[in-house]
Amino acid sequence: MSRTLLINAAESEERRAALREDGRLSLLWIERTDERTLVGNVYKGRVVRVEPAIGAAFVDIGLDRAGFLHVDDVAPYAPGGGGDDASLDTQRRSSIEDLVANGDERVVQVARDPIAHKGATLTARLSFPGRTVVLLPGLARAAVSRKIEDEEERERLRTLLEGAPLPPACGAVARTAARRACDEEILGEVEELVARVEAMNSRVEDSAAPVLVHEETGFAARAVRELLVRAPEGANGPTVVVADTPAAVAEARSALAFSEAPLEVRAHASESPLFHSFGIEAEVRGLASPRVVLPGGASLVIQETEALWAIDVNSGRRRRAANLEETALETDLLAAEEVARQIRLRDLAGLIVVDFIDCREPGNRERVAEAFRCELAKDPARMRIAAMSEFMVAEITRRRSRTGAGRAGSLRCPCCGGTGRVRTAAAAALAALRDVRRIVAETRAARVEVSCAPAVADALEQREAELDAIEERHGVAIDVVEDARLGQDGFEVAAQRA
């Protein structure tokens, strides 16, 4: 499998990283300067409110809104010391007021960025990730990723980490990428991560809350670490990192300083923008669209509601199979791969409901369910997958850690308010006419002014006879004023008393 990581850092307002696998976009990160991710940052904060009803505390970490710390994430932490699995089990059985109190100082890490009106989601179970290993201050044990299944390799990595020079009560986990790494590479990265932990501990001791005590590495380094670390089994093809600024190139090389894998980092040489040169810019822009066209005429429709994301699979003009059952099965298998890919690329989160085309045969339903589970397994995000229903509806819960590609640099539409639909000019004109009738009937207005979008004003001109009749009956003057600021279907009706 050929893998290429593209790091676009040429524009200071927005940085992007895209992973291509066999020429196809697989993962995408977008980070804007005004929406820079805080995930991974560590703060020394102060508890400002404890809420037993929801089992959580709110912690001031120096941002606009206090962060949210759930009882399950209140792990014991102290510089150079910490807890173990038994203490975590005790914590899970405790109530939030048994663990924290107003005014307590806590060292916490951002697990999820603030979004909309919600503050950052915090955890006191700190982690310092590298490309091959993760350090866990406060949890003194060595572990190996469950994705590494070879027992001999698991034992090698566990023995290596147990003998590594770690601070007291600091654990480590070998990541998936460690299965291809030599001992020197892993230990070199452990040494670098230990230095970060010790620097953080010094800031914790010397600083007053609230204060930032550890900031995550730069964008290019994080992209290399997180997007390249999850190479699937059998991915033995070349891996190339291409960045479009000297600083990003240097940062990517620094992130791979301990790696002995055949990874090439090079600068983008073309004058054409990076994503255009590799043919993915149009696809990135298309992630804001609710419709995704599949080969053969089928499509996906992706919509957000207040409570969930809904993804509908449509067969469209796809009619290649001999009968309806075969058409449904072929379309669903094709959609299973693309739905999982779109969830990753758009970073959809919360409850996600996918409505596949109904297959009558139980064996076909199971084939689709299994194919969907296999595709979702490629997603690095945490998720839970419910059993597919007899109506071919799949339910997933997925955790978001950053702003999705569809949200980055966008606002809710001021015309439709996020519904995706606006009234026709005729319908808006009729609504305005009703408001005029109500106002002249309920008030003694001598004059009524209707400010409206140009298209609505044109539609009201077609109702000139009705407006004249209202003026004559009530002795009122009605003025229609065009105002382009009111969008496509907007209007305002204001009355002036005599």
- Helical residues (DSSP H) of 17-168, grouped into ranges: 85-92, 96-99, 151-162
Do 48 and 24 share a structural domain?
no
Same domain? For 274 and 303 the reply is: no
Domain assignment present for residue 419? The answer is no
* Strand partners of residue 496: 447
Angle at 82 between CA 97 and CA 87, to 5 degrees: 55
Judge if 352 and 452 occupy the same domain.
no
Q: What is the CATH number of the domain that holds 13?
A: 3.30.420
User: Does residue 111 fall inside a structural domain?
Assistant: yes
CA distance 217 to 323: 54
**Among the listed residues 197, 136, 143, the one whose alpha carbon sits nearest the alpha carbon of residue 175:** 143
> Identity (one letter) of the amino acid at 177?
A
Residues 6+ apart with CB under 8 A from 329: 321, 359, 364, 367, 368
Q: What is the number of residues in the chain?
A: 498
**DSSP state for residue 448 in the 8-state scheme:** E
At 16, which helix (H) or strand (E)?
A: strand 14-21
- Is residue 408 one of the residues assigned to a domain? no
Distance CA 66, CA 106 (A): 13
Total domain count for the chain?
4
Residues 54 and 202 in one domain: yes
9 in the same domain as 124: no
83 and 144 share one domain: yes
Which amino acid is present at 41?
A: N
Do both 50 and 146 map to the same domain? Answer: yes
Cβ atoms within 10 A of the Cβ of 456, count?
A: 30
Which CATH number covers residue 76? 2.40.50.140
Please list the pLDDT of the chain residue by residue as tens digits (498 residues): 688 999 999 988 889 999 998 888 988 988 887 777 888 899 999 999 999 999 999 999 999 899 999 998 987 554 554 555 555 555 555 788 889 999 999 999 999 888 777 899 999 999 998 888 999 998 878 899 888 888 999 999 999 999 998 888 889 999 888 887 888 889 988 998 999 999 999 999 999 999 999 998 888 988 888 777 655 444 555 689 999 999 999 998 888 877 766 678 999 988 899 999 998 998 888 888 889 999 888 899 999 888 899 999 998 765 565 678 888 999 999 999 999 999 999 989 899 999 999 999 999 999 999 999 999 988 888 899 999 998 999 999 998 766 556 566 667 777 776 667 788 999 999 999 999 999 998 887 889 999 999 999 999 999 999 999 999 999 999 999 999 888 888 899 998 765
Q: Which residues form the domain of 300? A: 289-398
Domain termination site, one of 380, 398, 416: 398
CATH no. for residue 462? 3.40.1260.20
CA distance 432 to 450: 8
441 belongs to a structural domain = yes
Domain identity same for 56 and 130: yes
Do 75 and 188 fall into the same domain? Answer: yes
CA–CA distance, 156 with 132 (Å, rounded to integer): 14
Taking alpha carbons only, the member of 14, 53, 18, 19 closest to residue 34 is 14
Q: Is there a domain that residue 431 lies in?
A: yes
Please report whether residue 223 resides in a domain. no
Pair (391, 467) in one structural domain: no
Q: Helix 464-474 crosses helix 454-461 at what angle (to 10 degrees)?
A: 70
364/432 same-domain check:
no
Q: 106 lies in a domain?
A: yes
Q: Are residues 237 and 319 in the same domain?
A: no
